[in-house]
Chain A
């Protein structure tokens, strides 16, 4: 497995502001993924972040709202822009350690955002 650290673990934000979530992995990984979990819901993939290329966004998610950076093989950030109460969620990053779509898919501890 790997150690996947997310910051912040939780935050309370004001409407209209932006917040950047960091995800740090203790080993080099090709693919990193960002998920959103709205209250009482399951997880939904926001985007896939590959180092050296633009992130690939899922339907319903756009770069202007959720810009992602992937400067190297151990780090990624997700920004939630111009937040509204509907953005209150847990945001989780995950990594595919094997890189070949096997069973080694692990998550960080999550960042719980509350937007007032």
Chain B
């Protein structure tokens, strides 16, 4: 158990819908990363938040957004869903932001768009 929690574990929804994925980082971790794992693209970095502020963006679509709240939990919002958004979405947290800080991964949320 990494100490990072993600809810829900599974999510099935229809095209065009909007969903929210939730992540609670390890206690004391200030940095949260979101990654997407799909069969064709592999594991890709989406976005990072640090202490409530957006720090970096990766291959995140404009239909996707995220935020980190004062209690440091984070939410990833996916809208106008398409079949291709079906994937496993991971959240990872680290104490600080920096190259030598280990990222701890949650169990993921599996999103299926039908």
Partners in one complex: no
Instruction: Tell me the B residues contacting A by CB distance below 8 Å.
Output: none
Instruction: Tell me the A residues contacting B by CB distance below 8 Å.
Output: none
